[in-house]
Amino acid sequence: MPIYEYVCSACEHSLEALQKLSDAPLTECPSCHQDSLRKRMSSAGFRLKGGGWYETDFKSGNKKNLAGEAAKKPAAETPSKPASTETN
């Protein structure tokens, strides 16, 4: 079950609630008892990155480690300009 974050638009009280996906959103603030609770947008509590079970068990062929391969490749080579030398 996901944890949702709420904030009251009337009194700025914030809270977290453990709810099922099918549960209706909370509306009544436990602090001021007004129907002004709104869900906050927040990031997930975990990230899947790097090697590991997903990388080794579910990807196949050249799809493996796309993020890691991009980090290993050198940046596109661009012709560098020589440092300007001014003579006075």
pLDDT in the model for residue 42: 78
Average pLDDT over residues 25-39: 94
pTM of the model: 0.50
Other Cβ atoms less than 10 A from the Cβ of 8: the count is 20
Point out the least confidently predicted range of 15-19, 31-35, 53-57.
Answer: 53-57
- Any idea which residue has 């129907």 for tokens? 35
- What pLDDT does residue 84 have? 55
Q: What is the CA radius of gyration of the chain?
A: 25
Q: Is the pLDDT of residue 77 over 80?
A: no
In a domain, 54, yes or no: no
> For residue 67, is it within any domain?
no
Q: Domain tally for the chain?
A: 1
| Residue 34 forms part of a structural domain | yes
What one-letter code names the amino acid at 46? F
Residue 57 in any domain: the answer is: no
CB 11 within 8 A of CB 27: no
Helices (H) and strands (E) in the chain, counts: 2, 3
Percent of the chain clearing pLDDT 70 (strictly above): 49
Range of the domain at 19: 3-39
Angle at 29 between CA 23 and CA 34, to 5 degrees: 115
Task: Note whether residue 10 is domain-resident.
Answer: yes
Tokens linked to 50: 């790097």
Range scoring the smallest mean pLDDT among 5-14, 24-33, 50-59:
50-59
